[in-house]
Amino acid sequence: IILDSGALAHIFNDKQYFSKLELNDYDSIKTGKADATLPIKGMGEVALNPGCLDEKGCSVTSINGRFKFIKEGQLVMQGLIKNNLFSVDEPIAVGNSPKSLIATQLPRLQEIHKSYGHASLGRIGSLIPQSISEAKRLGFECKSCILAKITKQPFKGISTTATKPFEKIHLDLIGPIDPESRDHFWYKLTVVDNFTGYLSGFPLLRKDDRTDVLINLLENENKQLGYFPTWVCSDGGGEFIASRLVRFLGSKNIRRLISEPYHPEHNGRAERANRTIVESIRATFESSGVKKSLWPKLLKSCCLMLNSIPRKGSFELPWKLMHGKDLPQGFIKPIGTPAITVNHRRVKERKFSLKGKEGVLVCFHPILLSYHILSKSGAVIKSKHVRFLKKPDVVISSNDSFDHPSESQRFEVTQESQHKEIPVVESLNWRGEQS
Q: Are residues 129 and 22 in the same domain?
A: no
Looking at the structure, tell me whether residues 29 and 84 fall in a common domain: yes
Handedness of CA 222, 228, 234, 237 (dihedral sign): positive
Tell me, yes or no, whether 120 and 32 share the same domain.
no
CA-based Rg of the chain, rounded to a whole angstrom?
39
Number of domains into which the chain is organized: 3
Tell me what pLDDT residue 303 has: 92
User: What are the φ/ψ torsions at residue 85 (nearest 5 degrees)?
Assistant: -110, 140
Average pLDDT for 396-423:
38
Residue 36 has a CB neighbour count (10 Å cut-off) of 10
Q: What is the pTM of this model?
A: 0.57
Verify that 117 and 195 share a domain, yes or no: no
Tens-digit pLDDT profile for residues 183-195? 889 999 999 998 8
pLDDT at 325 over 50: yes
**In terms of domains, do 145 and 172 share one?**
no
Mean pLDDT of the chain: 75
Whether the per-residue pLDDT at 412 is higher than 50: the answer is: no
With cut-offs at 50, 70 and 90, classify the pLDDT of residue 429. Answer: low
Residue 317 within any structural domain of the chain = yes
Per the CB < 8 A criterion, the answer to whether 149 and 161 are in contact is no
Q: Which domain holds residue 368?
A: 168-427
> What pLDDT is recorded for position 416?
38
Q: What is the rounded CA–CA span in Å between residue 210 and residue 249?
A: 14
51-60, 279-288, 367-376: least confidently modelled range? 51-60
pLDDT band of 144, cuts 50, 70, 90 = confident
Instruction: Name the least confident of 65-74, 219-228, 235-244, 349-358.
Output: 235-244
Same domain flag for 76 and 188: no
Can you tell me the mean pLDDT for 88-101?
A: 51
* pLDDT at residue 260 tops 50: yes
Residues 182 and 116 in one domain: no
Same-domain pairing of 43 and 74: yes
pLDDT digits (tens, 9 = 90+) for 32-70: 666 777 777 777 666 556 666 666 667 788 888 888 877
Beta bridge partners of 257: 233
**In the structure, what pLDDT confidence band is assigned to residue 415 with cuts at 50, 70 and 90?**
very low
Q: Are residues 68 and 207 in the same domain?
A: no
